[in-house]
Structure 1
């Protein structure tokens, strides 16, 4: 099955966010599982320890009671005492079964097995005493006590239970240390992985956007020769295609503008040259002598023709300056020096229109391209 690529920046960002948070989510879930498992083990250990301590206490108490009941029965032959012994025996058996069901050491299990066997032998002999005449069993209490000393057998049980609880505590402690080490390794592995994924998808998202920005900057700078082709999600590719279409349109418009300007300059220069030649002939009085008024008009026509030619050339130069890829040389321009030159250039035209210009200029300077500033002020 072929995986489909993201079709938009939004989908790419969403996938990146999900993949970047996936390791952290895995770490969080694993931490929760480990802590829950350790908590369950600790609860089980506490419960087992409490049951083991209680069972050991029950065994100690019931063994003492059973030995006491044994002596009383052999002396009194009271059936109620025998019944009490059997009840105590039943509680002892339950405590032994409970303690054997808990995680215990081999020594404790062997001791419980010996206790069960010794108690069973003692109980069997008590059952034999039931049918024996009383004079024959007068020496039975001390002899049974010597042969079946259950108290001596169960005396180490509390210590062994305490040792078992300590071992369980050590196991839990080791498991906690192992879990801490595992979580530390998990953090050292998954957190850098999440950061790497975040950086990778940040680059995948920002790189096509930077390329689009560079393409737009080139279009703004008038560079129409480089095609706009940006790879990435579908919406980025579509925007790249639109920008390339815009580049082609701007290139066509720029070519049309250049063609138009060249055509206009050619169309203007032809009649302008004829006008200048005619005014020069008038000024040189080739066609006849001119009176002062006619001479002044001829001079005005000649100056106007020169001014018109200068404006056409300035327009072409200004358009060429805009089309240049490199900025022109910047210099310090003194306006108080440049303005009088421009005003003097228009002196005849202003006199013909009866315009008087008074200048009261201060020393002002600016940084720029000299010809462009001159053209701007001249217009």
Structure 2
């Protein structure tokens, strides 16, 4: 099925989306690593060049100082011994000094000491051509020359220090830039990670909601299509097919139950009507043995009719709506007990119920179904000649009704599944027909339909006790105004057989 969403671009598979997410998330980190490497390489190169230049310039400044000292020594020695070889040494040192000073001028182009040294070199270069007396008189040029040379060395050191400071500032700038880029790119990676996580999780959550809706039977009519990888879209389409198939099966089930109940009740009514006519002697007098058989047929027919009605109740509960009204619960209990009077008399059960009136706002039909199923369950599984107690407690925000009977306790392994539809525990039903396993399920559904709860609780005296808890839906005018919990006439009416 082609939809507007399917025509958009989307990853062809979940694996493709995961790999794409990994690559896109790693891209900013890769860019960060590349830029950090470039910045560190640039700083390393700059530091290496600066170190080499600093060593070379420092060595040149020291060499100039040494040459100035040798020039002065050669000149003074010549003034004493008058050897021409000393003037040759002087000229060589002067030439070396002039060459190094030219290189130093490139480093310090506007330094006044360098310019002064160049001017002094002109005067010092004239010394070899002077007479001895004038030569000796010019020897006083060397102390200022040495001082200028030392000042140039200090200027060179300051220039090197300034260059080192510039490199340090450049390193700090690069560090700040890298921190900023790290924060920006890591934040971008986190945003991309959250984006792709959302792109992956969103369709999964949509599918989860679809599955929960299908399982709970509360799915909406308008379903938003899943947007994501192709596998998840295909799974969504499969869920659409599954939901439509479940709707078809539910409709078929409802139709089957309606037809089956009709088909079963019609011949069953004929059988019960025929057995009643025979018992009335329409076809002639019957022997005691024949009457006993007719009573068995009529009782079994009544039991079968009750099972069919339970099945119909379970079917109707799937689509029921709550219709609350204020009723006297004690009157309802008496009506349900009257319905089961013959079965209770035949089992010899002693009945203990509460006095009325006890007004509460409930769904009458659902509450009657609960009481009917609980009392039927007590008759079916209770002990012959045992006790059946019905109690009611009214609280400020809820009403509790308990139906307890003597007999065999419910096994521990049966309790967790006691209210599941069609589940039958280890206890055997007393009577000619086997139960359907939906009586307690119908009762629990009726309680939930009213916002209440049906639970199996422990009782200090009787083996089995079911507690029905119903919330207060609306204030009733005939409800007592006390806010504390009160016991409504527990064990006040006794009807024993």
1:155 has 2:150 as partner: yes
> Does structure 1 conserve the Cα–Cα contact (< 8 Å) formed by 2:14 and 2:231?
yes
> Does structure 1 conserve the Cα–Cα contact (< 8 Å) formed by 2:47 and 2:167?
yes
Runs of 5+ unmatched residues, structure 2: 1-7, 323-365, 385-405, 424-434, 441-497
Deviation at 1:337, TM superposition (A): 7.3
1:342 has 2:338 as partner: no
Q: 1:222 aligns with which of 199, 217, 221?
A: 217
Cα distance in structure 2, aligned partners of 1:105 and 1:8? 69
> Does structure 2 conserve the Cα–Cα contact (< 8 Å) formed by 1:20 and 1:197?
yes
Cα distance in structure 2, aligned partners of 1:141 and 1:222? 120
> Does structure 2 conserve the Cα–Cα contact (< 8 Å) formed by 1:265 and 1:312?
yes
Deviation at 1:193, TM superposition (A): 2.6
Structure 1 residues 377 and 369, CA, compared in 2 at 3 Å: closer, same or farther?
closer
**Paired position in structure 1 for 2:486:** none
Cα distance in structure 1, aligned partners of 2:26 and 2:89? 68
Structure 1 residues 234 and 183, CA, compared in 2 at 3 Å: closer, same or farther?
same
**Paired position in structure 2 for 1:50:** 55
Worse-matched range after superposition: 193-202 or 139-148: 139-148
Structure 1 residues 191 and 255, CA, compared in 2 at 3 Å: closer, same or farther?
same
Describe how 1:19-38 pairs up with structure 2 within 5 A: 19-38=24-43
**Paired position in structure 2 for 1:291:** 287
> Does structure 1 conserve the Cα–Cα contact (< 8 Å) formed by 2:203 and 2:227?
yes
> Does structure 1 conserve the Cα–Cα contact (< 8 Å) formed by 2:227 and 2:233?
yes
Structure 1 residues 5 and 139, CA, compared in 2 at 3 Å: closer, same or farther?
farther
State the secondary structure of the residue aligned to 1:245: helix
Cα distance in structure 1, aligned partners of 2:212 and 2:189? 34
Structure 1 residues 337 and 308, CA, compared in 2 at 3 Å: closer, same or farther?
closer
**Which structure features the higher share of helix residues?**
1
Q: 1:179 aligns with which of 174, 182, 185?
A: 174
State the secondary structure of the residue aligned to 1:301: helix
Give the root-mean-square deviation of aligned CA atoms.
3.9
> Does structure 2 conserve the Cα–Cα contact (< 8 Å) formed by 1:71 and 1:141?
no
**Which structure features the higher share of strand residues?**
2
The CA deviation string for residues 56-97 of structure 1, in whole angstroms up to 9 with x for no partner, is 110011122123334445666655334423432343244324
> Does structure 2 conserve the Cα–Cα contact (< 8 Å) formed by 1:20 and 1:194?
yes
Cα distance in structure 2, aligned partners of 1:116 and 1:208? 83
State the secondary structure of the residue aligned to 1:155: helix
Q: 2:244 aligns with which of 232, 241, 248?
A: 248
Deviation at 1:210, TM superposition (A): 0.6
**Paired position in structure 2 for 1:115:** 117
Instruction: Decide which structure has the larger Cα Rg and report it.
Output: 1
Runs of 5+ unmatched residues, structure 1: 130-136, 347-358
State the secondary structure of the residue aligned to 1:106: coil
The CA deviation string for residues 168-199 of structure 1, in whole angstroms up to 9 with x for no partner, is 23222322332333233333333333222222
Structure 1 residues 84 and 222, CA, compared in 2 at 3 Å: closer, same or farther?
same
> Does structure 2 conserve the Cα–Cα contact (< 8 Å) formed by 1:56 and 1:158?
yes
> Does structure 1 conserve the Cα–Cα contact (< 8 Å) formed by 2:13 and 2:231?
yes
State the secondary structure of the residue aligned to 2:284: coil
Which TM-score applies when normalising by structure 1?
0.77
How many pairs are equivalent? 352
